[in-house]
Amino acid sequence: QVQLVESGGGLVQPGGSLRLSCAASGSIFMINAMAWYRQAPGKQRELVAQFTPGGSTMYADSVKGRFTISRDNAKNTVYLQLNSLSPEDTAVYYCNMNLYAYSDKDLIPKSYWGQGTQVTVSS
């Protein structure tokens, strides 16, 4: 019933920018946290950026100063602005949300994943 749909990935030159979007649909009561992960071939999935339950932002050292996470609560959407991209940023980017859905018994919070969007940085 709840699903996260990602968009915005693509091919970009080094130094370029992209803006990723992740929209949650369904009967959502409250979103506790939002985050972006990425996974490159042969590597573990890593946390890139997140909103904490308290509303603060956190960034991995590798992207700090270049990426910006933002959100539109009215649209249940989280964004990731990627600037000054380098080939090392090439990966599949996944969004994740921990949320309460009206369909959940006793409003038990659960985590949901987007389908992933490919970001390729190459000349």
DSSP 8: -
Residue with tokens 């970009």: 12
Q: How confident is the model at residue 10 (pLDDT cuts 50, 70, 90)?
A: very high
- Distance (Å, whole) CA 87 – CA 116: 18
**Which pLDDT does position 104 carry in this prediction?**
78
The predicted-structure confidence for 62-104, as pLDDT tens digits, reads as follows 999 999 999 999 999 999 999 999 999 999 999 999 999 988 7
Average pLDDT, integer, range 30-50:
96
Q: How far apart are CA 16 and CA 73, in angstroms?
A: 27
Q: What is the pLDDT of residue 45?
A: 97
The two tokens of residue 108 are: 């038990």
From the centroid of its chain, how far is CA 59? 12
Position 61 confidence tier, pLDDT thresholds 50, 70, 90: very high
Each residue's pLDDT tens digit, 93-121: 999 999 999 887 777 899 999 999 999 99
Q: What are phi and psi of 55, to 5 degrees?
A: 95, -5
